[in-house]
Amino acid sequence: MKAIVIGGGIGGVCAAIALKRFGIETAVYEAVKEIKPVGAAISIWPNGVKCLNYLGMKDALRELGGNMRFMAYKEYQQGQTMTRFSMDPLIQSVGEQPYPVARAELQSMLLETYGRDQVQFGKRVTHVEGSADSVTAWFDDGTSATGDLLIAADGTHSVIRQHVLGYATERRYAGYVNWNGLVEIDESIAPADQWTTFVGEGKRVSLMPVSGNRFYFFFDVPLPKGLPQDRTTVREDLQGYFAGWAEPVQKLISQINPETTNRVEIHDIEPFMQLVKGRIALLGDSGHSTTPDIGQGGCAAMEDAVVLANMLQTNSLGIEDALLRYQEKRAYRVKDLVLKARKRCDVTHGKEMAVTEQWYEDLKTETGERILSGMCETILGGPLE
Ligand code: FAD
């Protein structure tokens, strides 16, 4: 059996690793010549970590992961702590730690595990064709590749999604802009072992530790879509949006490197239940595009990879049947994650300010129990309990 994997991001490479481990021949085709991940880092929650463990990356991931033992919310003007609690109850409940990691390092770990030289870069798919017993992908250099099945891991702007669904989807602007990057840990801004988030005015400023004494930081600001992006004014822009915010936030803004700070307008796609057509399967953001508000998009791609490989490995009724079982196992799970993230997004970013203000009030009486039990439920919904 030969699988063609389109896209060399988190989803595509995890799928290729998973299939290879089960002895299925794979070929990965990636559009760009060199992958430059959008975004500085990513939090891999225990459901994602378990998938990477399962795929043989347990030790490598621990080297890259930050030590995130506590979680805290802080009020925006004075920086006073609204709630602070240990992550240990979560870790004890689900049996694994979360690991925030720098994206470039995650991507390298995945490529090294799979075999970097087995990825064909500079191969952009333009269209695909399925027949009763094979699938062919056509590339923009005029070449093509044929396999027994095709995994479309070509991201949120997927060109294969429309072929599978039979209609075009639209990305929905979630109403806020996110700036993110990496900065050296400075404990006068936040503790080194804590996920710290300052909240107010429907905005947030967050810091998570990753390896190498660095914080992954991000700033969220509700803004109209399509404002001009100018790297040279990033610091001034953030100083304006966060005027009057506490000293640690001002300090963080002064320490960021505008050259390496990313600006992303956050989108998702209305969930759909069809993830496969014949011998083609959507995987990762091509099949479910979410806002990052519960940090689960990449984790869900890892889950997809594990489930898809298991369905192909354990099924004797053929590829199409295995893919339908993959769809059955994944469609509700990923829809749930997208909708949960959308709900969290609206509360966090002041879609209805009264609801957001109530959330700020609730945080002042939060002991960790409610937040961690919500996280637990999300994590335990994954395929590797
Ligand atoms: P991608 O990473 O987009 O990879 C798709 C690949 O396909 C790319 O390399 C692309 O070049 C290639 N490609 C595209 N078109 C073609 C084509 N036509 N032919 C060939 N190749 C093609 N997730 C988490 O789990 N935790 C987090 O904390 C988190 N934080 C996030 C923060 C932000 C600001 C954002 C925007 C997202 C965040 N996510 C997070 C989501 C996560 O980044 C995505 O869900 C994940 O990258 C999806 O992986 P993917 O492989 O499906 O898609």
Q: How far is the CA of 266 from the centre of ligand 1 (A)?
A: 13
Q: How far is the CA of 347 from the centre of ligand 1 (A)?
A: 24
Question: What is d(CA 198, CA 82) in angstroms, rounded to the nearest whole number?
Answer: 9
Question: What is d(CA 191, CA 67) in angstroms, rounded to the nearest whole number?
Answer: 11
* Ligand 1 proximity of 208 Cβ (cutoff 6 Å): no
pLDDT by 10s per residue, the chain, length 385 = 999 999 999 999 999 999 999 999 999 999 999 887 667 999 999 999 999 999 999 999 999 999 999 999 999 999 999 999 999 999 999 999 999 999 999 999 999 999 999 999 999 999 999 999 999 999 999 999 999 999 999 999 999 999 999 999 999 999 999 999 999 999 999 999 999 999 999 999 999 999 999 999 999 999 999 998 888 999 999 999 999 999 999 999 999 999 999 999 999 999 999 999 999 999 999 999 999 999 999 999 999 999 999 999 999 999 999 999 999 999 999 999 999 999 999 999 999 999 999 999 999 999 999 999 999 999 999 999 8
Say if CB 149 and CB 1 are below 8 A apart. Answer: yes
Calculate the alpha carbon distances from 379 to 14, 98, 155, 182 in Å. Answer: 18, 10, 22, 26
Say if CB 139 and CB 123 are below 8 A apart. Answer: yes
**Helix, coil or strand: residue 353:** helix
Say which amino acid occupies 131: S
Q: How far is the CA of 4 from the centre of ligand 1 (A)?
A: 18
Say which amino acid occupies 241: Y
ipTM exceeds 0.85, yes or no: yes
CA proximity to 47, closest of 12, 95, 81: 95
Q: Among 4, 14, 30, which residue has the most ligand 1 atoms within 8 Å of its CB, making it the best to mutate? A: 30
Ligand 1 atom 42 nearest Cα: 298
Say if CB 125 and CB 139 are below 8 A apart. Answer: yes
Q: What tokens were used for 382?
A: 């994954």
Say if CB 148 and CB 133 are below 8 A apart. Answer: yes
Atom number, ligand 1, closest to the C-alpha of residue 285: 52
* DSSP string over 212-267: TTEEEEEEEEE--TT----GGGHHHHHHHHTTT--HHHHHHHHHS-GGG-EEEEEE
Q: What tokens were used for 346?
A: 């609206």
Axis-axis angle for helices 46-54, 369-380 (nearest 10): 30
Counting Cα atoms < 13 Å in the Cβ hemisphere of 304 gives 34
Sheet holding 25-29, edge to edge: 119-120, 25-29, 2-6, 149-152, 280-282, 276-277
Atom number, ligand 1, closest to the C-alpha of residue 286: 52
Question: What is d(CA 26, CA 1) in angstroms, rounded to the nearest whole number?
Answer: 9
> Residue for token digits 């099949």?
287
Return all residues near 282 (Cβ < 8 A) that are at least 6 apart. 152, 158, 160, 161, 164, 275, 276
Atom number, ligand 1, closest to the C-alpha of residue 32: 11
pLDDT score, position 229: 85
Q: How far is the CA of 101 from the centre of ligand 1 (A)?
A: 15
Q: What is the pTM of this model?
A: 0.98
Question: What is d(CA 22, CA 55) in angstroms, rounded to the nearest whole number?
Answer: 10
